[in-house]
């Protein structure tokens, strides 16, 4: 535990997911799930009322992940493997304390993962926000990772945190500020509660590194991996990083493309 102070789907899957209402409100999308949602209140986290327990989940696999193509803020959907991964992580989370809300990037690979999780956990409060999107990769969008790395090796280096990507792309510092600020907002809103956040590889890495600058997560966060944070009063505690226990029995860990901003 590390402390840091301020510084298409299978038939089974289709049967399990049912959406009944969807609307857009400003830049955020809110979804109300069907009448299968349980009425019991969510269980609070164990670290006191000043902390929010934030479970951060990377989205499931896409065909671009499988081909090592840089997605960034491009919008491919989950592939069959990714949907099955999402179902596995959803089943795992459904056996834990019910979250007060599920927040997600509005990109399809994340939003579909979030739908599956919210349904399995019986959560009606599902919010999509572009603040949780992956790093904008500028001119590198659509390139195979090795080619992009040959062209701009400094883009993927932790030593080049202020380097913006040509073509309107973000620096690592800009990505970190965006994602950390949004999680602080969520934590302030949900003090004493548990929430789930579905986002992307590089975004999750930056959250881990904000909590622990020595965290060895770069390029090691597999699709649907779980990171657990407790956030409150300016303090970030990283309790777990890159947990993929739910994938081990499914054979999903061979040749998995990790989350380093390239796979997004």
pLDDT at position 128, please? 98
In angstroms and rounded to an integer, the radius of gyration of the C-alpha atoms of the chain is 17
Which of 59, 136, 222, 246 is catalytic? The answer is 59
Residue 154 has a pLDDT of 81
Q: And the tokens for 200? A: 């992307």
For the whole prediction, is pTM greater than 0.75?
Answer: yes
Instruction: Give the per-residue pLDDT at 47.
Output: 53
Q: Which of 61, 134, 170, 193 is catalytic?
A: 134
Tens-digit pLDDT string for the chain (264 aa): 545 444 334 344 433 443 323 322 334 444 434 333 343 445 544 456 789 999 999 999 999 999 999 999 999 999 999 999 999 999 999 999 999 999 999 999 999 999 999 999 999 999 999 999 999 999 999 999 999 988 888 887 777 899 999 999 999 999 999 999 999 999 999 999 999 999 999 999 999 999 999 998 988 899 999 999 999 998 999 999 999 999 987 666 554 444 444 444
φ and ψ of 58, to 5 deg: -80, 145
User: What does the pLDDT read at residue 237?
Assistant: 97
Question: CA 115 to CA 33: how far, in whole Å?
Answer: 9
Q: For residue 134, indicate whether it is catalytic.
A: yes
DSSP state of 69: B
How many CB atoms within 10 Å of residue 17?
A: 20
Which residue pairs from 250-258 have beta carbons closer than 8 angstroms and sit at least 24 positions apart in sequence? 250/84, 250/85, 250/88, 252/61, 252/81, 252/84, 252/85, 252/88, 252/222, 252/223, 253/222, 256/61, 256/222, 256/223, 257/61, 257/65, 257/66, 257/68, 257/223, 258/201, 258/219, 258/220, 258/221, 258/222
């Amino acid at each position: 535990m590390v402390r840091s102070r301020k510084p298409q789907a299978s038939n089974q899957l289709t049967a399990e997911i049912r959406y009944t209402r969807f609307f857009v409100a400003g830049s955020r999308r809110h979804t109300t799930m069907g009448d299968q949602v349980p009425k019991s209140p969510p269980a609070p986290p164990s670290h006191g009322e000043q902390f929010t327990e934030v479970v951060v989940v990377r989205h499931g696999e896409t065909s671009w992940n499988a081909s090592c193509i840089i997605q960034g803020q491009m919008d491919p959907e989950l592939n069959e493997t990714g949907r099955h991964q999402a179902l596995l992580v959803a089943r795992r989370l459904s056996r834990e304390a019910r979250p007060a809300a599920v927040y997600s990037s509005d990109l399809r690979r994340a939003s579909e993962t979030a739908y599956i999780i919210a349904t399995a956990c019986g959560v009606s409060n599902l919010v999509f926000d572009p603040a949780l999107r992956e790093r904008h990769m500028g001119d590198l969008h659509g390139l195979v990772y090795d080619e992009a790395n040959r062209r701009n090796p400094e883009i993927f280096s932790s030593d080049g945190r202020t380097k913006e990507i040509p073509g309107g792309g973000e620096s690592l510092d800009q990505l970190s500020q965006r994602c950390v600020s949004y999680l602080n907002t969520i934590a302030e809103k949900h003090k004493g509660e548990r929430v789930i956040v579905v986002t992307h590889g590089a975004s999750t890495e930056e959250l881990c590194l904000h909590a622990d600058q020595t965290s060895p997560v770069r390029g090691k966060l597999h699709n649907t991996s779980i990171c657990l944070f407790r956030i409150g009063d300016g303090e970030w505690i990283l309790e777990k990083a890159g947990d993929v226990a739910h994938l081990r029995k499914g054979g999903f860990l061979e040749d998995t493309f990790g989350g380093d901003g390239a796979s997004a």
